Amino acid sequence: MTNIRPVVPPTQIPHRDLLQLEVLPDEEQIRADIERLRRERNAVILAHNYQRPEVQAIADFVGDSLGLSRQAANTEAEVIVFAGVHFMAETAAILNPGKVVLLPDLRAGCSLADTLTAQGIRDWKARNPGGLVVTYVNTTADVKAESDYCCTSGNAVQIVRSLPQDVPVLFAPDRFLAAHVIRETGRQMDVWDGACHVHAAIRPEDVQGQQEAHPDAELLIHPECGCSSQILSAFPDLQLYSTEGMIHRARASEVQTFIVVTEMGMVTRLEKDVPGKTFVPVSRTACCEYMKMITLENIRNSLANLQPRVTVPEEIRVRALRPIERMLAIG
Ligand code: SF4
């Protein structure tokens, strides 16, 4: 099992800092504290697209899982604050064994990652000898350590296309992303029956309701969405977009209004990166409570205390690094 524990005692913080944090709890002061601590700690703050608007606003980099993995691999900062969920912080720890990786709230997990265990992968491989295991980055370090390749929604098609044709492919854990990859590549795969509760809950009726309200809008649908398979059977030519793909499409399209069919935090990122256009969330309930556990306050506190840390045991880290590096080399 992956260990989550501090590797060194918390850094001593001057008493002055603690007093200052207690008496000035307003948001402006929290932002100022974060700025100061970020410099003092030589820290970088990486935020996922689904984070709260105020967290995206103070981040050094906002992106999808792939973009954040690349930033984590290349950063020269000594401390990485991960404004995201646990498996993402683990990925940063796998790529940066000498650095301090902070996850401001350790309860920030992922329902999709929870559908798969390392033992589950071992049993699956035993039933499919010679198969290559491709796992979405939304998995624990233990699961990555049992995988041959990692992928994100942005490069899953490219990764599967790069594999030899004569071997079985075992794809996990998201069944909706797998359906998209099968459609795009024409390749049959053995698929793990997992899904994210947020994306699986987005219904075709939600999309239809927003289309009726915004008849000129273009759809930006993420392949993880529960509705995507059903929508695609009705509109087989419809494109699906990774979160980064949504930004490129919104910039390139002549359309003014877009219905964003994924977690609603993506609307914040689109509004910032594609100003002047209108983005409508498909549903106000498409909201990941794990992502929203990260706040300005707990970011400030984690920078002040250098806690809570996410670490990965070296034996797991080395094995989990291999599929991540293969993914980064391909796309
Ligand atoms: S939106 Fe879904 S896949 Fe993403 S972190 Fe939340 S539970 Fe996991």
pLDDT tens readout for residues 177-194: 999 899 999 999 999 999
Best residue among 112, 199, 242 to mutate for probing ligand 1, ranked by most atoms within 8 Å of CB = 112
- Dist. CA 15 → ligand 1 center (Å): 38
Residue ending a domain, among 140, 161, 196, is 196
Q: Is residue 119 part of a domain?
A: yes
Say if residue 105 is in the same domain as residue 20: yes
Q: Is residue 271 part of a domain?
A: yes
* Strand, coil or helix: 167: coil
Say if residue 19 is in the same domain as residue 101: yes
Number of domains in the chain: 3
Say if residue 67 is in the same domain as residue 102: yes
- Dist. CA 265 → ligand 1 center (Å): 11
Say if residue 38 is in the same domain as residue 71: yes
User: In which domain, by residue range, is 37 found?
Assistant: 15-109+291-312
Q: Is residue 79 part of a domain?
A: yes
| Tokens standing for residue 131 | 């198969």
Q: Is residue 319 part of a domain?
A: no
Residue ending a domain, among 130, 162, 196, is 196
Say if residue 95 is in the same domain as residue 129: no
Q: The CATH number of the domain where 71 resides is what?
A: 3.40.50.10800
Residues of the chain with pLDDT under 50: 1-24
Residues 132, 133, 137, 142, Cα dihedral to 10°: -130
Say if residue 161 is in the same domain as residue 229: no
* Phi, psi dihedrals of residue 82, rounded to the nearest 5°: -100, 105
DSSP annotation string for 81-122: EEES-HHHHHHHHHH-TTSEEE-S-TT---TTGGG--HHHHH
DSSP annotation string for 194-254: B--HHHHT--HHHHHHHHHH-TTPEEEE-TT-HHHHHHHHHSTT-----HHHHHHHHHH-S
pLDDT at 53: 93
Say if residue 122 is in the same domain as residue 88: no
Beta bridge partners of 171: 134, 191
Task: Report, in angstroms and rounded to the nearest whole number, the Rg of the chain calculated over CA atoms.
Answer: 20
Say if residue 20 is in the same domain as residue 76: yes
Q: Is the CB of 196 under 6 A from ligand 1?
A: yes
Q: Tell the residue nearest (CA) to atom 4 of ligand 1.
A: 110
pLDDT at 73: 82
pLDDT at 6: 29
Say if residue 78 is in the same domain as residue 135: no
Say if residue 203 is in the same domain as residue 277: yes
Q: Is residue 50 part of a domain?
A: yes
* Phi, psi dihedrals of residue 156, rounded to the nearest 5°: -60, -40
Say if residue 36 is in the same domain as residue 98: yes
pTM score, whole prediction: 0.85
Say if residue 70 is in the same domain as residue 58: yes
Q: Is residue 266 part of a domain?
A: yes
Q: Is the CB of 290 under 6 A from ligand 1?
A: yes
Residue ending a domain, among 196, 231, 252, is 196
Q: Is the CB of 116 under 6 A from ligand 1?
A: no
